[in-house]
Amino acid sequence: MSVEIKNYDQKMKKTLDAVKANNASVRAGRANAAVLDRITVDYYGVATPIQQVASISTPDPRTLAIQPWDRSLLKPIEKAIQTSDLGIHPQNDGVVIRLAFPQLTEERRRELTKQVRKYGEEGKVAIRNIRRDAMDAIKKGVKASELTEDDQKQMEKELQELTEKRCKDVDDITAAKEKELMAV
């Protein structure tokens, strides 16, 4: 039955990866292609991530250059970026779309910090939901006489320790991103 706890640990690790991915998409004042991860463009009727229809480069620390493989996508990519929550105005020169990342204002830093905290809280809720599912499975095992009450208590203790560890990991990830955002 301890194998099952490992399965739940794997689910919790996937939640940590999701929190990291969400944090990577929050820009911290310098150019990072990960900010485009959630932006999709209509490509022949299919919502497609920008990375799959263009090459993305960073010519300097504060600029992203997006060069679509199909020039007809310049306008749709530009529009998708404008309608996103990036807060950056794209510059289209007919071949390449450039995104210039300005220095973050104090107000914008605070907004982004709130967003990062929200991602962290969502991650912790997901981890607690995984714990609840595991607890339910343990209780079913006891009812079906597959586990003893001592096994139940030991597994619940292990599960609680694992949950606390993973929630602390989420807090650490969130704190590191907040520190990155607030650094001037």
0.75 surpassed by pTM: no
Q: Given a cut of 50, is residue 84 above it in pLDDT?
A: yes
52 and 142 co-located in one domain:
no
pLDDT at res. 184? 59
Instruction: Tell whether 68 and 16 lie within a shared domain.
Output: no
Q: Name the domain boundary from 66, 85, 100.
A: 100
Based on the fold, state whether residues 18 and 41 are members of the same structural domain. Answer: no
Task: Tell whether 160 and 140 lie within a shared domain.
Answer: yes
- When divided into structural domains, the chain yields a total of 2
The answer to whether 173 touches 19, Cβ cutoff 8 Å, is yes
Please identify which residue in the block is written with the tokens 């960073």: 58
What element of type H or E holds 42?
Answer: strand 40-43
Selected residue with higher pLDDT from 106 and 28: 106
Contact status, residue 90 vs residue 1, Cβ threshold 8 Å: no
Helix (H), strand (E), coil (C) string for 100-111: ECCCCCHHHHHH
Burial class of residue 161 in the structure, from the number of CB atoms within 10 Å of its CB (0-12 exposed, 13-18 middle, 19+ buried)? exposed
Which residue type does 82 have?
Answer: Q
Do 61 and 114 sit in the same domain of this protein? no
- pLDDT, tens digit (0-9, with 9 covering 90-100), for 135-171: 999 888 888 888 888 888 999 999 999 999 999 999 9
d(CA 86, CA 34): 12
Burial of 45 (0-12, 13-18, 19+ CB in 10 A): exposed
| Cβ–Cβ under 8 Å, residues 50 and 40 | yes
Whether residue 168 sits in one domain with residue 119: yes
Of 78, 100, 122, which residue sits at a domain end? Answer: 100
Confidence class for position 27, pLDDT limits 50, 70, 90:
low
Confidence band for 1, pLDDT divided at 50, 70 and 90: very low
Boundary of a domain, candidates 48, 74, 100:
100
* In a shared domain, residues 150 and 132: yes
Are residue 116 and residue 91 in the same domain, yes or no?
no
For residues 48-82, one letter each, b for 16 or more C-beta atoms within 10 angstroms of the residue's C-beta and e for the rest, the string is bebeebbebeeeeeeebbbebeeeebbebbbebbe
For residue 118, which amino acid is it? K
Give CA torsion, residues 49, 51, 52, 53, to 10 deg.
100
Domain check: are 156 and 178 in the same one? yes
Q: Are residues 83 and 146 in the same domain?
A: no
What whole-number distance in Å separates Cα of residue 56 and Cα of residue 51?
7
Q: What Rg, from alpha-carbon coordinates, does the chain have?
A: 22
Indicate whether 115 and 84 sit together in one domain. Answer: no
Domain region containing 138 = 2-24+105-182
Strands across the sheet containing 63-68: 54-60, 63-68, 97-100, 91-92
67 and 110 inside one domain: no
Read off the CATH number of the domain in which 81 is found.
3.30.1360.40
CATH of the domain at 164: 1.10.132.20
Provide mean pLDDT across the span 104-125.
88
